Structure 1
Amino acid sequence: MQKRKQLLTASLAAGLVACLVWSGQNPVQARSPSQTEGHKPEEEKIALGRMLFFDVSLSKNRTQSCATCHDPGRAFTDGRSNAGKGMVSLGDDGISYGNRNTPTAMYAKFSPDFHFNQKTGQYVGGQFLDGRAKDLAEQSGQPPLNLVEMNMPSVGSIIERLKQNEHYHKTFRALYGDAVWNSDETAYEAMMQSLAAFERTGQFAPFNSKYDKYLRGEYELTVLEDLGRTLFFSNQNVNCSVCHKLHAEDAPKETFTNYEYHNIGVPRNEDVVALNQLAREFADHGLLENPQVDDPAQKGKFKVPTLRNIAVTGPYMHNGVFKDLRTVVLFYDKYNNPKSQINPETGQPWGEAEVPETVNLADLRANALTDRKVDALVAFMELLTDEEYEHLLEKKPAADK
């Protein structure tokens, strides 16, 4: 058991190198299915990707699909009530957990390919909290081979599962050509491209929240929501928009992330450390655990998440350490407000930063918040909930008019 738990310290990064290399070949170097004879319309690829997304046969014990941890009924996050208390996800073997909170798959298609921006000096984009997958296709190939997720032993074992399904056997040939089954690598690339095609559909990015309706003149903000919007976009009050804005203020289809990586001083989640029987001094090094990154200055940095559907996708932070969205706002406020030094969820002072040496104190500077301003920021973020998930918002008294 202890040996298995030690695998979790690498979690979703270092332990997955094998899923990127098949017989010495990088999957992104394999022939693209889009170049294969017999390629059919994108709609058919999407239909195949949708079927794969919900298929539990991609896990060793046939207990998990992609949708298990990315439930479309919960904004594509893990809503299961398991021993991980929602902080981290339970694996296919029924005993293993990751040490990172499962991020939403919604709006992920807008993240650029992982790269280093020479102009800003920042790593940008990619998939996963440490950006170790270049894009959606590469991301989709990792969970099936992750020991603490779907736990399949090899690419070959997954291809054998796919071949057992006559529909897959025919559809892969129809979409990607007769040669698609000639090698495990080509078939797996086709599977990844199909999953990515599904994740690029409008189901993952509907842009139909009240905020989107406000921008179209179809919804009138309450006084509290409007205050929150003003605060959010104002650099003279809080610095939310420094990291959580890519376009101009109130631009349509804003995803509320700049896709960069930052360390905001999130404390270690002691519950996750205990759950996974990790060493007391365990620290998640974030971006530095990305095999493509070899720079100590990146230690403890994590990808800035989208704020789309943030009010219904808790718990929060890379390790699920905070349960409530209001707690997250108060955590930011602690850097600037002597009155915000107690974590309301524990009744104790905020924990020390998991990786203190790289905390981005410059961007955390802001004016201290009043209770009303905290409420306003939460109200604004609730506005970013897509229409199909509004029923997941906690029932609260009507906001100020």
Structure 2
Amino acid sequence: MRLFSTNKTSPSVGIEEAIFQGLPPDNGLYLPDEIPVLPETFWETCESLSFQDIAFVIANAFFKEEIPAEDLEGLIQKSMDFDAPSVKIGDDLYCLELFHGPSMAFKDFGARFMAAVMSYFLEKKNRKVHILVATSGDTGGAVAQGFFGQSNIDVHILYPSGKVSDIQEKQLTTLGENVKAIEVDGTFDDCQKLVKTAFLDEELRSKLNLASANSINIARLIPQAFYFVYTYSRLKEKHFPIVFSVPSGNFGNLSAGVIAHKMGMPVHRFIAATNVNKVVPEYLKTGVYESIEPSVSTISNAMDVGNPSNFPRLKALFGDKFEDLSAAISGYSFTDEETKQGILEVKNMYDYVVCPHTAIAYLGLNKYLENTKERVSSVFLSTAHYAKFLPDVEAVIGAGLPVPERLEELLDKEKVALSMKPDYSLFRAYLDDLI
């Protein structure tokens, strides 16, 4: 399989090279020349397959030329050892729970699969890499858990000071060993800019053998397609068109859903649900893209992205045609006050507790359903466990809530992080000392 850059000035590469490069030299994003389409027989019988079976079929469509089937099956079994259930909470209304992995966020799917694949390639060639990743919240914890203890891989996670929850911060600052945290005095966009600039620094990149674990990396997106297809397989017998509402910040999750759709998965509509960092919903209304810099801080902090990295990839998946993209995706944005009302509504109507990001997905779905009379299977994605945002959720609900033991244990651990200004010269000097 060959992958091209969305900026279209870098040469195409194989999937292994794309994974370790992260970004093409022209600062675009990698996408396959052609999205593989799964045969009709798969879609007709997928309800009989397990999550791991479906994950293997999708992964094999991308990696069959690089990883033997038996090895790939082993990587799937090792990395995808948790569930992605669609919980029915109302009539034709389902919450896709993506928080059953080790960090209790959807990014466990991408981070664990990517770590397994990277380690596989590195061990075969006896190579070492340095992972740089920026996080607005859950990416850091998932990457930290996914790559912790992996041989031949060192990880540096950059996060904005004071803009992640206490539990999120503890998840990425308490592991140690091959996982280091850098607390940046700025926004997520500042963190992301530092990482991107480092990847475009050819001298540094070659000396440290840099790789990325952000959603800019194609290895993060492919496994996120697993749970879209798995959800379809469990709901297809309802015989209603499926609508997915995706809480969106950097737009990797929605891009993965579109990849699943391009592989043949029937979807009636995607909903891009955001907080007040509403770059893409505005684009879907006007056809004009205007980034928000700096990004605006909200209680749905993992979505506080003013210039979504995956947006060029999302456009490229539709051939850079606004008409095609807007025909498949509706966009809605919500304030913090509306988000709080969403949390309360879900609790009062369905006795179900959601995090702020999940509440935004729920609100986006409701907004779409207000304008359609067609009966659909409605799915809103729950991207993180509510306990990761406990103070905000408890304040809205007005009651204490139980915390999973694995998260509660983190609160007593000591944070270890290097403080840094959002200055690339300082970041470069720090990285130089690693050489």
**Which TM-score bucket, shorter chain as reference?**
under 0.3
- The answer to which structure has the higher strand fraction is 2
Give the TM-score taking structure 2 as reference length. Answer: 0.25
Larger Rg: 1
- The answer to which structure has the higher helix fraction is 2
